[in-house]
C-alpha cells in the first residue's frame, strides 16, 4: 500500500471517533478497536515502512513478546530512548493529522451525517445505493442554494 492509502485508512478508522466529536461534542469508548488499528498502522509506517522524514528509511523490528506467558523477560532495546521519543512523536503526528482530516471531512458533510444517522436510527442499516442517493440529494440542494 502507498503512504497515501495508509493515511486514508487511518483517517477512515478515526472517522467514528471524529463523528462523535462533530455530532455529540464528546467521545466514547466505542472507537477503541479502530483507534488501536489506526495506531498500529501509523507505528508500522514509522518503524517498518520508512514513511517518516524524521526517522528516515530505517526498519525497526517489532518488539518480541512471549507467546503465552509474560515471564518478566524484558527484550533488549532495539533503539535508544531518544529514537523511541521521535518514533512516538511521528506516530502521534500521523494520527493527529489524519484525525483532523476526518474532522474536516465530517464537518463539511454534517448534513449528510445527520440524515444518515436518522436513517440508521430508524432502519439500523443503510445500503450503498441509499447512501449514494442521500449524498446526491444533499449535494444537489447545496448547489441549488449557491
Q: Do the beta carbons of residue 99 and residue 17 sit within 8 Å?
A: yes
pLDDT tens column, 76-110 = 567 899 999 999 999 999 999 999 999 999 999 99
Domains and CATH numbers, the chain: 1-65+77-108 (1.20.58.760), 110-146 (no CATH)
For the entire predicted model, the pTM comes to 0.82
Nearest to 19 by CA among 96, 102, 95, 97: 102
**Residues 32, 35: Cα–Cα separation, whole Å:** 5
Condensed to tens digits (0 to 9), the pLDDT of residues 49-83 reads: 999 999 999 998 766 666 666 555 555 567 899 99
CB 9 within 8 A of CB 95: no
Greatest Cα-to-Cα distance within the chain, rounded to the nearest angstrom: 66
Tally Cβ neighbours within 10 Å of residue 85: 10
What is the C-alpha separation between 134 and 116, in angstroms, rounded?
8
Amino acid at each position: 500500500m502507498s503512504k497515501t492509502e495508509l493515511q486514508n485508512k487511518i483517517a477512515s478508522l478515526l472517522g467514528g471517533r471524529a463523528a462523535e466529536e462533530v455530532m455529540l461534542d464528546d467521545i466514547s469508548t466505542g472507537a477503541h478497536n479502530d483507534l488501536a488499528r489506526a495506531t498500529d498502522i501509523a507505528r508500522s509506517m514509522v518503524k517498518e515502512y520508512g514513511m517518516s522524514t524524521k526517522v528516515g528509511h530505517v526498519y525497526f523490528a517489532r518488539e518480541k513478546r512471549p507467546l503465552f506467558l509474560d515471564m518478566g523477560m524484558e527484550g533488549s532495546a532495539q533503539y535508544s530512548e531518544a529514537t523511541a521519543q521521535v518514533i512516538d512523536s511521528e506516530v502521534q503526528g500521523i494520527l493527529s493529522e489524519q484525525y483532523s482530516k476526518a474532522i474536516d471531512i465530517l464537518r463539511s458533510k454534517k448534513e449528510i451525517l445527520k440524515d444518515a444517522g436518522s436513517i440508521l436510527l430508524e432502519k439500523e442499516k443503510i445500503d450503498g445505493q441509499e447512501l449514494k442517493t442521500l449524498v446526491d440529494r444533499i449535494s444537489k440542494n447545496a448547489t441549488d442554494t449557491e
